Structure 1
């Protein structure tokens, strides 16, 4: 970083806020695509939801997907498993009814091309509105 900052003023440094935001966004997209690919390769998954308010008082829904990944030895024999939790982000939510939350989660999963029919479990932290959903 020091070398980049010491470069002559005519050199391209890629330090403007716009470029930094583009790099962050691109890196985020690559990471999300990798995580979604891992989820879609799993036979089944479960979803966990929680809501919270951000500093500007907007309600946000956090979405976490839990999968089981097989651990194989060098000969590709299954020797165990790992439970993996993947955070899919915070998503603004305005409808706190069970139907509103279901609609939001379905839209998030569909947007990421994660098959809803592979969801075999659900968890909600403090979301009593979701009992029976």
Structure 2
């Protein structure tokens, strides 16, 4: 076996060993973090209940301050109508400013002469490693 092949084989082994260790650590972290998140959620629920029972929005204790606030989320179940609404009312600010990577790539492949002004493209080589 040539020295280059030997080096490539060794690098692959090292990469996979590191990847395995990271997966192991990540799984352990996710498990422990999940338990802690669950505990915190129970405490948050109790604090929200306390605020409701006491008729208050914030409480200052010697350990710290907690407060409740309303969190409102918006979403649509009908993107076609939402898109029409945005166009009709000239309200593009209702949407996040980001491109769908897969759809943009496909559009450019199918329409190589149609490139939007201001479009930035960054390509780089990446290495993927799989087990034998």
What TM-score bracket applies, with the shorter chain setting the length?
under 0.3
Larger Rg: 1 or 2?
2
TM-score for the superposition, normalised by structure 1: 0.26
Which one has the bigger strand percentage? 1
Which one has the bigger helix percentage? 2
